[in-house]
Structure 1
Amino acid sequence: MMICLLNEDEEVLKLEYQYCICLYVRQKKYDDLTKIGKLFQHQLFANDLQNNRIYDKDGNHWLVELFFSDDWKFMYIIMGLNASNLKYFCLYCNCQSELCWNIDQNFKNSENYAYENRKPALFPAINQKNYIPDKLHLFLRIVDVLMECFFNDVIKKKEFEKKIKLEI
């Protein structure tokens, strides 16, 4: 796990501004991660960073807001959900997997509380809206699904045999 200070502007993107706070080399399982979660939960709540803020050696008063970003699967585990392919898959609302294709339907962006077997979040000090999926993994997943649809369509319409194979 890495931590960075977002007020470092563009410097935050450089490796020397990333700080490792935890090295975890096991499988990403909720039961194993609860031990680490308890350690951080104690630190975050004991110091109450978000409410009390931080004072530096010069007496500056720093506001602290916690964020969490990772791939969708790991965020599911951290947030106490089991799998991203369940009936209520969304991290932020109660959208059912059967209804997600209906763009006329509105879902309130709050929290997935409809999930029946939800476990406690491992970092309750982090606000629900501050869990942000990693854009790279999200983009790769979208591209993967689109490519699968494309190739299924090409094979189904036999376009590959008719046109593309001849050009190769």
Structure 2
Amino acid sequence: MKADESYVNLAENFTHVFDEINELVKNPIVTIDHQQYKVILYLCCDYKMFLQVLGLNAAHATYACVWRNVKISQRCDMTKTIHDYKKRTIEALLETDEDVPKTQDCIQKRKGRVNNPLIDLDNWIPDELHLMLRVTDVLTRNLINAAANQDRKDGRHSENINDGPMIQKLVESIRSCGVPFKIRSADKKVFCFTSLVGSDKLNIIKKDTRENQTVPANRHH
């Protein structure tokens, strides 16, 4: 199917697929060579697909976690555990009134649900590729921030982020893995960097960490 990725397109073009899956969820038995087997179904896809299939709002929305009812601003709170937030289930997603209008306030009350789930399934697993890409993006940004902060502390920071010696060492280290890499300043606090494909990121990860420790840990004075 050639169309935009959207809830409407999925619902209209794959109705029969979702119907078959939901029927199997209700009766999780398959027959192979006259032998019946009980199955457990899992949904594995990228995060955008998760949100669309479950009828949730966008990934940057207030409630964008498919596993727990946690606000995006609270997800990094290390004082909390997963048990501090209510678990997302299909039943929980359908708790609210079907006829509630899709205003921003109502979406907040419904914990980010904007449509009915297309699959009645509670087992959701992100695919390893997209998980790895996202995690390494965060780690790369943390390295850039650490290097830039060190340059500021050493009084070697200028308007051009690439003038800092720690940033230069970081860029050289990544490029030594055979990966084209650049950093630029979007503003004084936000840095943009080259978007790397999976194979490039794997090359960096496989690089001997002893050769890549160019950014020192934060020093406490």
Aligned residue for 2:72, secondary structure, equals coil
Mapped partners of 1:41, 1:34: distance in 2: 8
TM-score after normalising by structure 1: 0.69
Match of 1:150 among 143, 147, 152: 143
* Mean Cα deviation higher: 103-112 or 90-99: 103-112
In structure 1, what is the equivalent of residue 29 of structure 2? 53
Query: What code does the residue aligned with 1:98 have?
Result: S
Which segments of 5 or more consecutive residues in structure 2 lack a partner in the other structure?
Answer: 94-109, 157-162, 173-221
- The answer as to 2:10 corresponding to 1:33 is yes
- The answer as to 2:120 corresponding to 1:120 is no
- The answer as to 2:53 corresponding to 1:78 is yes
TM-score after normalising by structure 2: 0.54
Mapped partners of 1:143, 1:99: distance in 2: 21
Aligned residue for 2:15, secondary structure, equals helix
Percent identical across equivalent pairs?
22
The answer (yes or no) to whether the contact 2:46–2:126 under 8 Å persists in 1 is yes
Instruction: Compute the RMSD of aligned alpha carbons.
Output: 2.7
In structure 2, what is the equivalent of residue 14 of structure 1? none
Deviations 1:17-62, CA, capped at 9 Å, x for gaps: xxxxxxx3322111111023421233345x5465262233x42012
The answer (yes or no) to whether the contact 1:50–1:65 under 8 Å persists in 2 is no
**Cα gap change, 1:71/1:152 in structure 2, threshold over 3 Å: closer, same or farther?**
same
Aligned length: 140
Q: Which has the higher contact order (CA 8 A, sep 6+)?
A: 1
